[in-house]
Structure 1
């Protein structure tokens, strides 16, 4: 029943399809062995909870909340994106629908050996570059 409900490790970001039953409230502290007090954790994450200080608690709505050893919550990880059964043809169809035609020269650079315009490159790659960078970029390099 636990495997059927959890379908693998419940630790955020873990995709292992198997695991061990973990008592959310430990049985030695009076925690019952019931589905509402169990969560499936893979061996690595089960050990992290017991030996490394990670914590897990069940919320009122039934969801699990995991915390780091310092008490900060671990964020929920979105499920992986769905992948089509034939990704190559799905990508080609999406490109065709957008009028994008990929061919042998699509990824060829248009660079003809021109000198790099450092100021322009920094402006494009980092639009929040601090003022005065233009002067520093145009000065000759004096390093070694």
Structure 2
């Protein structure tokens, strides 16, 4: 994965579901969320002249970073998941999939890129990161309908 081109690609089309300057969030080693305003972060060797993507890459050398690809809303009773991204979709989930992945609130989905690498994990973060317990939650690759659909959406937007 070309991380620089991927974040550039995401920012170019994310305004449907997220503010482009808030599309990435720092994730600590315990998966708790840090700031999501990459543009205003200081340190990490960042200069005023750096583009968003350059700042992102400098921070990635020392921190895990989550890139938001869209939002999930789970609908109880009918076991569906609405996916809001560049394209909106609804998928049917089994009862087991629904119980494993649903949340009573909306969540962002995307990838957490591991620091100083191009390795990533598909998962979700809390929609509001203002709570102390807000965190990244990996989604297990169990060949579920949800995982397959999220992987498909993500793969379409990652630049190799």
State the TM-score, normalized to the length of structure 2: 0.21
Higher RCO structure (Cα 8 Å, ≥6 apart): 2
